[in-house]
């Protein structure tokens, strides 16, 4: 498939989803995504070489892409809305509880990216994100903003569960989750203040030292300096270098701690975005707003690749696809 045919296919997908883009922006986003897939890179020079209908001169192509990445006509969350609603509807079909995954990553210690995604099979599909300069230490305000955005896309009556890695949970985050009917499994950093029934436990690292290779569950644990009530579970599995301390909204037990395994889909997604796919860590972007637009192009390209892969699998194994559709029904 030529880059132009790929761009036409992406344009058809965006049009079918009614993505809020004017005609010029729709064409440019489609062409940039197609070029990115062809180049397998977010390096602007490599994307520009693959652009199917841009100016001939290299410097004019660079200007073409730069203008797109600064364009006010392309709003990341508005464009992702149709993709997100479709993904969340599928994840909650038949009364399922969609699994939302939140995690942070860094690009060369220059930018921090906080990402919210929904689990889809063995991967996660991107929903929305926040980019800022500096190391990955994004606070609760930005975490809640992403959750508010996703909440508006959820089907009515849907009760999701949030899986989050060892960034910085807080009282405001837990209060928001409780107030909005979200469940959660959040892995705790060793430095977080913790009070349990066990003696000599002042932080999560102390629990790890005492519980060791055993299990420990505490319905009445207290988190943070101000003692927020939150059940926690500790579990260590043989063969793993360290255990998990998981904060949750339910009675802690082995099964509720193991729920956290559903978070790994976002690790596969980050690999696709970075070293194993679009090479996002090679980005030379200096400004968070432009990097956020580049992530949008990656997210659109990623969703189109997922859709194409699912369609190819359906054609290769129609019996399995029919069985899956019957089971879903």
Question: Residue 299: pLDDT above 90?
Answer: yes
Instruction: Please indicate, yes or no, whether the overall pTM of this predicted structure exceeds 0.85.
Output: yes
Question: Residue 322: pLDDT above 70?
Answer: no
- Greater model confidence, 215 or 134: 215
| Cβ partners under 8 Å of residue 323, min gap 6 | none
78-266: in CATH 3.90.105.10: no
- Residue 57's pLDDT is 87
d(CA 62, CA 69): 11
Mean pLDDT of 294-301: 93
H or E element in which residue 245 lies: strand 244-248
- CA neighbor of 262 nearest in space, from 113, 123, 105, 83: 123
Q: 3-class DSSP state for residue 108? A: coil
Is the separation of the CB atoms in 44 and 282 below 8 Å? no
- Greater model confidence, 247 or 212: 247
pLDDT per position as a tens digit, 55-107: 788 889 999 999 999 999 999 999 999 999 999 999 999 999 999 999 988 88
Question: Residue 201: pLDDT above 90?
Answer: yes
- Domain-wise residue ranges, the chain: 3-75+290-328, 78-266
Q: Which of 15-24, 44-53, 155-164, 267-276 has the lowest mean pLDDT?
A: 267-276
Show the 3-state SS of 117-177: EEEECCEEEEEEEEEEECCCCCCHHHHHHHHHHHHHHCCCCCCCEEEECCCCCCHHHHHHH
Partner residues linked to 217 by β-bridges: 233
Question: Residue 272: pLDDT above 80?
Answer: yes
- Residue 142's pLDDT is 93
- CA neighbor of 304 nearest in space, from 24, 35, 20: 35
- CA neighbor of 249 nearest in space, from 168, 147, 180: 180
Question: Residue 324: pLDDT above 50?
Answer: no
Mean pLDDT of 293-322: 73
Sign, Cα dihedral of 315, 12, 293, 36: positive
Give how far Cα 136 sits from Cα of 101, 112, 168, 220, 288, Å.
16, 4, 10, 31, 13
pLDDT per position as a tens digit, 213-227: 889 999 999 999 999
Is the separation of the CB atoms in 256 and 243 below 8 Å? no
pLDDT per position as a tens digit, 4-47: 999 999 999 999 999 999 999 999 999 999 999 998 888 888 99
Question: Residue 312: pLDDT above 70?
Answer: no
Give how far Cα 266 sits from Cα of 13, 68, 101, 280, Å.
24, 27, 6, 15
């Amino acid at each position: 498939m030529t880059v132009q045919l790929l761009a036409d296919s992406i344009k058809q997908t965006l049009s079918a989803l009614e993505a809020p883009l004017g005609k010029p922006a729709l064409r440019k986003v489609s062409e940039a995504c197609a070029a990115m897939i062809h180049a397998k890179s977010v390096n602007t020079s490599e994307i520009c070489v693959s652009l199917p209908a841009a100016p001939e001169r290299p410097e004019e192509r660079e200007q073409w892409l730069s203008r797109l990445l600064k364009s006010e006509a392309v709003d990341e969350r508005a464009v992702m809305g149709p993709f997100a609603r479709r993904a969340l509807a599928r994840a909650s079909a038949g009364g399922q509880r969609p699994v939302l995954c939140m995690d942070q990553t860094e690009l060369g210690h220059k930018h921090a990216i906080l990402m919210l995604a929904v689990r889809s099979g063995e991967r996660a599909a991107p929903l929305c994100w926040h980019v800022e300069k500096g190391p990955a230490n994004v606070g609760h305000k930005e975490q809640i903003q992403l959750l508010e955005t996703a909440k508006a896309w959820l089907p009515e009556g849907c009760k999701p569960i949030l899986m989050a890695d060892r960034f910085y949970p807080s009282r405001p985050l837990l209060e928001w989750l409780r107030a909005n009917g979200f469940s959660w499994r959040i892995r705790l950093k060793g430095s977080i203040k913790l009070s349990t029934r066990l003696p000599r436990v002042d932080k999560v690292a102390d629990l790890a030292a005492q519980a060791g290779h055993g299990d420990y569950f505490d319905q009445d644990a207290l988190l943070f300096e101000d003692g927020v009530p939150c059940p926690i579970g500790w579990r260590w599995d043989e063969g793993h270098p360290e255990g998990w301390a998981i904060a949750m909204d339910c009675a802690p037990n082995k099964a509720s701690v193991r729920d956290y395994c559903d978070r790994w889909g976002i690790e596969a997604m980050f690999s696709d975005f970075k070293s194993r796919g679009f090479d996002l860590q090679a980005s030379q972007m200096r400004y968070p707003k432009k990097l956020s637009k580049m992530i949008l192009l990656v997210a659109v390209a990623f969703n189109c690749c997922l859709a194409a892969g699912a369609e190819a699998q359906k054609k290769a194994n129609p019996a399995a696809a029919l069985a899956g559709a019957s089971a879903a029904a």
